[in-house]
Structures are given as structure tokens and as C-alpha cells.
Amino acid sequence: MDVLLNLMSGIQTAVSGPNLLFILLGASVGTWVGMLPGIGPATAIAVLLPFTFSLDPTSALIMLSGIYFGAMYGGSIASIMLNIPGDASSVMSTLDGYPMTQKGRAGAALLLAATASFVGGTLGLIGLTLIAEPVSRLALRLGPSEYFMLMVFALAATASTVQGSAVKGFISALLGLAIATIGIDLQSGSSRFTFGTPELMDGIPLLVAIIGVYAVTEVMMTVEGLVSGRWQAPKAIGKLWATKAEWLRVRFTFFRASVIGFLVGLMPGAGGAVATLLAYSTEMRFSRRRDEFGKGAPEGLVAPEAANNASVSGALVPLLTLGIPGSSATAVLLGALMMHGIQPGPRLFVEQPVLTWGVIGGLYVANIALLVLNVPLIGLWVRILKVPAALMMTVILVLAIVGSFSLSNSMFDVWLMLLFGVLGYLMRKTGVPITPMILGLVLSGMIEQSLRQTLSLSGSDWSVFVTRPVSLIFLLMTVAMILLPLVAKPRRGQQ
């Protein structure tokens, strides 16, 4: 059992000397930073990276792992308590997390999120430890055609996030797809809708849009409510802990979502947002209480939280075994490795066993540390709700402006972010849901580029989508997802 021995020595590295302190420090700082609007794990790691330069590479990477998981949990707190996700992969947590807060279940939501993160993270890490090598080779077999079909499947799954009018959901998703066409086209090199503005060449920055439509829109809605006197403070905080009934409802969700998260994470580039979306829609399909989703269903919170953390371990598989980053956060980690003089690649495990196993051990410890650090703090986090709204909104607006400026040190992003805030406000006023737009924005680029990559590789032969088995499976799943509700509906009517 070489693997177990390696893991044990890795955990030993992670808890020995100052390393344990670095994990705890990383996890706490990560949590705080991750709560800020627009700061997800990728940004948190990038921002805090320079502070690790004075450490030896193993300690630095271990601390960054702590920051990684910490920032994810911080993002969850902001999503659940304030309806302001830090990045695309915590968007799905707002759908049921925030309604739980509105119903006075903030404490329970935070506890469920922490537990889901822990379970998802740990199951993902077990996957990473045991099957990293063979699985990474298999994942490479999935090419642009499989990515395209997976993304189409995910796009179909965005329907599950829509409450009420399907037409408005459709408009929102299309808006996201349209906005994503701005920028230089990868395959031809020509610029689209950039009007000669260099800032628009790389497209609309996703985080700028997210900060705008969530943070600024929330501020505008609240201010309007305060001025008109219709604003109501969130309900008194109910029982702090989750009830037995709530635990029972989500007991299988933990595992289903973790598996989905890990598998999607394995595919380089698919990302946490896709993992959380697919876990959420799967949970909804299997649920007998489908109508409770979006209104504070605990499954709707646990699924994206577990999937998100499991996807991190999935994304680490191609990074550690092949040197290929699977997500934006692992891309920053890759940069961190290189800055510490380590060239990641297929020989990383062989040449740097102490480092790689130290990082994996560090992630296990960070996972536990987060649970231990954050569960006692839940009582503190829920007090965020007692901060007067006027003060809270001022702070959020300032953080939104600072956050969007700091993404690339440019005022252009700040104006763009405020513009998205106005767009989000108009959408909320007209009852057009925001989530499909953000998901459309996330998926659009990947859908278009993988389609065109596929066709250029196949010589414009469309049959590859059905002759390649995995691609065919995703295609059939998509068709099933679209058709099943249509077939199932009349039957329900007969009952």
C-alpha cells in the first residue's frame, strides 16, 4: 500500500513544524478574503501568492491549498447570507442558500454548506489519492467533441435553475450567450464587438459581470426598499443548527454531488461552475420535492457545495499528474509552482514526492481545519444579518468597486461592473432571472470554441458527435433531459 504510506508521510509533512500553522492561517485568511464580492479561490490565491514567496515551496503550496479551500467556504458564506457569490462556482449556492437565510435558517444553511464542503472535499481527495494516475490518462481521451456535448448538456441543465416563466429564463440565458460573443475570436483571431477597446479583447470578464449583477443589484434593490419603506429585515434567526429532518433529506445528496463534482473536475477546463450546475439539476431530477427547489431546499444548497469542493480535487488530478491546470484556480496554482522553480509535468510525483504528497496531505488537513474553524464561527457569521442594512450596503458597494478595480487594476472594469449592476436591477424588476444569464456567459465561450475545435479537427465532419461514445452519451442525456419533462407531464395530469 504505497499510496497509503505516501499519504501518511504527506499528512505528516502537512502537520509538522510551522506547516500546520500555515494551513490554519491560509484557511482563515482565505475564508475572510473569499467573502469579498468577486473574490473566488482563483483571485484569492493570486492576491495572496506574493506572501508565500519567502516560504519554501512545500510550505507555500500547503498554505495556498488552505487558502483555496478557505476562499471557497468564504464564497459560500457570502452566497448564503447576502446573495452575493464570490465567483461563478458559488453562483449555484445562492439559489437555495439565500432563501434559507430569508426563512431564518441561515445557521442551518451554513452548517450544511460546511458539512457538504467537507464531505465533497474529502471524497474528492480520496479519489485523487487512489485513482489519480489511471483516471488522468482516461480523461485525456475526452477531446473537444466531448467537451462540446458536455457543455450543451450543462446548458440544457440551466433550465433547472429557472423559477416561474420559462420564456424569461430563456431570455436570460440567451442574453448571457450573446454577451459572451464579445472579444477576440480564438479560432480566427478577429475581434467581435470590441470597438477597438483593448479592455474588451478578452471578452467581458466573468467576475466583473458577477460582481455587478449580484452585489450592485442587491445594493440597489435594498436601497430602493429602504427609501420606499418596504424593506424588511431578515427574519429572526431560527434554530441555529440543522434539524434531523433536514439532515435526512440530504444524506444521499452529499455522495451523489461529490461524485458528479469529482468527475466534472477531472476534465480540464470544465470548471467548478459546470460541476455545481450539473449536481444541482441532477438533485432536482431525483427529488420528489422538486417544487421546493429555489425556495430554500437543503438539497439545493448541499449539492453545489459538495460538488464544488469535490471538483477541486478532480481539477488537481490533471495538474499534479500531467501539469495541466483543470480550472482557473489550479492555473494560478500552476503559476505558483513555476514561481517557486518547480516545473509541473508528468514527472512531478517522481521528482517532487515530498511536495506533491505534502500538498495532498495539506488538503486533507485544510478540509478538517475548515470544519473545525468554521462550525464554531457560524454563530458569528449569522450576526452579519444584524448589521444595519444601510451600513452593510455601503460596505458591499465599496468592496464591489475595490474588487472589480483590483481584477486588472483598471477603472474600465469598475464602470463595466456598475453597468452590469444596472442590468441586474432591470432584470430583477422585470422578473427575468439572473442565474441563467451568468451560466450562459460561463458556458457560451466553451460551447462555441469546442464546437469549432471539433469541426476543424474532424475536417467539418459532424458525425464525430455520434461516433465517439462519450460524446454520444452526453448527447442522449441532453435529449432525455429536454424530452422527459414533456413526456412526463401528461402522465401527472392523469393521476
* Residue 406 CB, nearest approach to other proteins (Å): 9
Which residue's CB is nearer to other proteins, number 96 or number 146? 146
- Helices assigned H by DSSP within 103-238: 106-140, 144-157, 166-179, 206-210, 217-228
Pull the grid cell for residue 214: 449580484
Pull the grid cell for residue 445: 465561450
* Residue 458 CB, nearest approach to other proteins (Å): 9
* Residue 439 CB, nearest approach to other proteins (Å): 19
The three-point CA angle 358-364-368 to 5° equals 135
Sign of CA dihedral 447, 477, 143, 461: negative
* Residue 134 CB, nearest approach to other proteins (Å): 14
* Residue 381 CB, nearest approach to other proteins (Å): 30
Which residue's CB is nearer to other proteins, number 51 or number 247? 51
Tally the C-alpha atoms within 13 A of residue 462's C-alpha that lie toward its C-beta. 1
Minimal CA–CA distance to 272: which of 324, 314, 319, 209?
314
Which residue's CB is nearer to other proteins, number 346 or number 379? 346
CA 464 to chain centre: 30
Secondary structure class of 234 (helix, strand, coil): coil
* Residue 144 CB, nearest approach to other proteins (Å): 7
Which residue's CB is nearer to other proteins, number 62 or number 324? 324
DSSP secondary structure code for residue 212 in this structure: I
Contact 449, 192 (CB under 8 A): no
Which residue's CB is nearer to other proteins, number 185 or number 292? 185
* Residue 362 CB, nearest approach to other proteins (Å): 19
* Residue 50 CB, nearest approach to other proteins (Å): 7
Minimal CA–CA distance to 116: which of 139, 92, 99?
92
Which residue's CB is nearer to other proteins, number 201 or number 390? 201
Residue-wise over 74-91: b if at least 16 C-beta within 10 A, else e?
A: bbbbbbbbbbbbbbbbbb
* Residue 130 CB, nearest approach to other proteins (Å): 22
- Helices assigned H by DSSP within 341-388: 348-351, 353-374, 378-381
Compute the distance between CA of residue 381 and CA of residue 107 in angstroms, rounded to an integer.
8
* Residue 461 CB, nearest approach to other proteins (Å): 12
Residue-wise over 29-60: b if at least 16 C-beta within 10 A, else e?
A: bbbebbbbbbbbbbbbbbbbbeebeebebbbb
Contact 152, 443 (CB under 8 A): no
Pull the grid cell for residue 274: 459546470
Which residue's CB is nearer to other proteins, number 347 or number 383? 347
Which residue's CB is nearer to other proteins, number 85 or number 183? 183
Contacts for 438 with CB less than 8 Å, ≥ 6 apart: 88, 91, 176, 206, 209, 210, 213
- What letter represents residue 412's amino acid? F
Pull the grid cell for residue 421: 449592476
Contact 147, 285 (CB under 8 A): no
Which residue's CB is nearer to other proteins, number 291 or number 351? 351
Which residue's CB is nearer to other proteins, number 326 or number 424? 326
* Residue 86 CB, nearest approach to other proteins (Å): 17
CA 39 to chain centre: 11
Which residue's CB is nearer to other proteins, number 343 or number 394? 343
Residue 463: exposure state from Cβ atoms within 10 A (0-12, 13-18, ≥19): exposed
* Residue 64 CB, nearest approach to other proteins (Å): 11
Pull the grid cell for residue 365: 488537513
Residues that bind other proteins (CB under 8 A): 46, 49-50, 140-144, 184-191, 194, 196, 198-199, 201-202, 268-269, 318, 322-325, 331-332, 334-336, 338-339, 341, 343-348, 408-410, 449, 453, 456-457, 459
Contacts for 333 with CB less than 8 Å, ≥ 6 apart: 45, 61, 64, 68, 319, 325
Which residue's CB is nearer to other proteins, number 138 or number 426? 138
